[in-house]
């Protein structure tokens, strides 16, 4: 669980670096989509 949170944190940093140009609203949609859609399938 802890290592999963670390991987998520690293993924967020990576996404921030790659999608910094994208509008904040679009980025927030991607982030919410990642947490609410991707996380349940990982567990």
pLDDT at residue 19, rounded to an integer: 61
CB 12, CB 35: distance < 8 Å: no
pLDDT digits (tens, 9 = 90+) for 1-43: 578 888 888 887 877 666 665 556 677 777 888 887 766 565 5
Domain ranges of the chain: 2-42
The pTM for the full model equals 0.34
pLDDT at residue 6, rounded to an integer: 87
């Amino acid at each position: 669980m802890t290592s999963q949170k670390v991987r998520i944190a690293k993924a967020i940093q990576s996404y921030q670096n790659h999608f910094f140009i994208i509008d904040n609203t679009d980025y927030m949609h991607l982030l919410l989509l990642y947490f609410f859609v991707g996380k349940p399938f990982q567990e």
